[in-house]
């Protein structure tokens, strides 16, 4: 019930790394995701998938930090994609114009197929 | 008339108190879950705008949640998020033109999100504070 | 002194507004997550007791959440859940002896849960209402 | 972010049926679980596992409805067990004296091993 974000990272997907979020993506949550993402980039990973199945709420400050990760990804010719968004989170991403810079997939399987 | 007024200190995650309340009220009046979640997202944005931008001295935000329509036939929710901060001119909040295309996306979205997710939004702002009133029908 | 007062209508899930607020405050003062969740569970039980048993006429519950200790050195949370209902005698809430062993488990647990999960609990109840005050140190 | 309970039922576990909960187990949530459980009992299932991994909060009214399911289960020589409880929910179950009537397991694997 506390809303601090929990992250689980699955690096056993070949080139792709899946990051599972659980909880609220606010500024703190966004920064936690960014830290994990930048570590993965350091390690040489260039394709990241954020699975938001267990995230029911985000805010625009958290999303702005995700946009920073996308920027960094574009610089290294990498990709950040999303899957399993609630309809409202997907709508919000679209309102913010994220769709042109990051793939959004309904489920993890579809995302992995498209990304690998 | 169902109504809840919350006086919330501007501390992290306190916006979730407002969104949880909106969730309970929305479910209570039988609003569809997607719509309830849209209201919750808009409320969160209105609260963090007040937290981030208002420079309120009392460091509190007032959130009023109101069920529209008769008790037996609720029509929707009206939520007002009010602060006593420095205010701003909503007409002045222009699209940011600086930086790269993507960098431009980074901030300046709160009000757009609120307007897109709610049916009706009114912003009254002056040097004594800001009131964002938003409605969504069931 | 950080403090939040909520006036909540007795409608389903409104207890979550109180527990969400307790969650934000608990995190804010650096309380360990397990402890925060224990506070949240206790607050939920105190609220639903008021919803279920108080027979309050105004159908509202007052929840006051208070950070104990100095702002720079918070010591814990004190939460009071108050209703203006018919009250009860806490000393009279005996263990239920009727029915099968398992059936006995079914109800009469709210106060036990609250007392077990919080460090300190005071119940003041009279014909004009009930106040449950509970504390938990960080 | 809305707290109404979601249930997923996995009947493909041989004799055991796993019910996954997501959200708040209040009176309404408890009743939803009971409806699903009674349907499964009607179908002849006698061992149910409730996986509470995605439930972060419960209340005593919800739990009292779970106790009714346990009662029903005992009548037919069946079993209701729980896995993946948060520490606070486990503590609350123990305070309510549930431990003697229902198995509680840290994870699904352990539960399935013990129950089958
Ligand atoms: N409650 C408020 N008090 C004062 N200024 C505000 C308030 N809400 C919004 N603003 C102003 O409007 C601008 C745009 O807000 P918004 O669209 O939410 O984007 P962002 O919060 O990302 O800047 C803010 O940068 C701020 O200057
Ligand atoms: N706020 C309240 N107002 C009136 N009576 C109460 C209140 N809280 C508790 N009680 C009384 O105390 C009894 C025991 O409460 P509790 O231990 O929470 O168990 P339960 O709610 O399952 O009955 C209740 O049945 C009720 O009679």
pLDDT tens digits, residue range B5-33?
999 999 999 999 999 999 999 999 999 99
pLDDT confidence band for C108 (50 / 70 / 90): confident
ipTM comes to 0.93
With CA atoms as reference, report the closest residue to B52 among B138, B7, B111, B96: B111
Question: Quick check: A7 contacting D, CB < 8 Å?
Answer: no
B40/D2 CB distance under 8 A:
yes
Q: How much is the pLDDT for D23?
A: 95
Q: What is the pLDDT of residues B39-95, one digit of tens each?
A: 999 999 999 999 999 999 999 999 999 999 998 999 999 999 999 999 999 988 855
Q: How much is the pLDDT for D100?
A: 87
Q: What is the pLDDT of residues D25-54, one digit of tens each?
A: 999 999 999 999 999 999 999 999 999 999
Q: How much is the pLDDT for C95?
A: 53
Return the percentage of chain A with pLDDT > 70, whole number.
97
- Chain C partners within 8 Å of B5 (Cβ): 7
C28/B7 CB distance under 8 A:
no
Of all residues in chain A, what percent are helix, strand and coil, respectively (each to 5)? 45, 30, 30
Return the percentage of chain D with pLDDT > 90, whole number.
89
CA pair distance B107, B95, nearest whole angstrom: 10
- Ordered alpha helix ranges (H), chain A: 27-42, 60-75, 87-95, 108-115
What does residue C116 show for φ and ψ, rounded to 5 degrees? Answer: -75, -35
Q: Are A7 and A32 in contact (CB under 8 A)?
A: yes
Pseudo-torsion of CA B5, B7, B11, B12, nearest 10°? 0
Over residues C26-54, the mean pLDDT reads 97
Name the residue facing A92 among B41, B52, B105 (closest C-beta): B41
B115 alpha carbon – ligand 1 mean position (Å): 13
Regarding pTM above 0.90, the answer is yes
- Chain C partners within 8 Å of B17 (Cβ): 4, 6, 17, 20-21, 24
- Reading phi first (left if > 0) and then psi (alpha if -120 to 50, else beta), residue D29 is in alpha
pLDDT confidence band for D72 (50 / 70 / 90): very high
Handedness of CA B69, B70, B76, B82 (dihedral sign): positive
Whole-number average pLDDT of chain A? 94
Using DSSP's 3-state secondary structure scheme, residue A61 falls into: helix
Sheet-wide strand order for D47-54: D6-13, D16-22, D47-54, D79-83, D104-105
């Amino acid at each position: 019930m506390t809303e601090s974000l929990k992250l689980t990272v699955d690096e056993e997907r070949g080139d792709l790394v899946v990051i599972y979020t659980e909880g609220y993506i606010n500024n703190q949550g966004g920064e936690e995701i960014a830290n994990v993402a930048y570590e993965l980039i350091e390690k040489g990973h260039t394709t990241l998938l954020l699975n938001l199945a267990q995230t029911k709420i985000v805010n625009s400050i958290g999303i702005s930090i995700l946009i920073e990760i996308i920027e960094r990804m574009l610089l290294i010719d990498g990709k950040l994609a999303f899957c399993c968004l609630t309809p409202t989170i997907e709508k919000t991403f679209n309102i913010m114009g994220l769709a042109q810079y990051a793939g959004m997939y309904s489920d993890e399987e579809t995302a992995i197929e498209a990304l690998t | 008339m169902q109504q809840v007024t919350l006086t919330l200190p501007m501390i992290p995650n306190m916006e979730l108190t407002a969104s949880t309340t909106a969730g309970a009220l929305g479910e209570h009046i039988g609003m569809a879950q997607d719509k309830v979640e849209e209201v919750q997202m808009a409320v969160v944005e209105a609260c963090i705008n007040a937290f981030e931008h208002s420079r309120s001295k009392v460091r509190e935000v007032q959130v009023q949640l109101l069920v529209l329509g008769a008790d037996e036939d609720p029509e929707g929710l009206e939520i007002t998020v009010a602060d006593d901060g420095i205010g701003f001119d909503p007409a002045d909040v222009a699209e940011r033109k600086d930086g790269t295309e993507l960098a431009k996306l980074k901030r300046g979205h709160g009000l757009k999100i609120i307007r897109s997710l709610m049916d009706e939004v009114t912003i009254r702002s002056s040097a004594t504070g800001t009131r964002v009133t938003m409605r969504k029908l069931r």
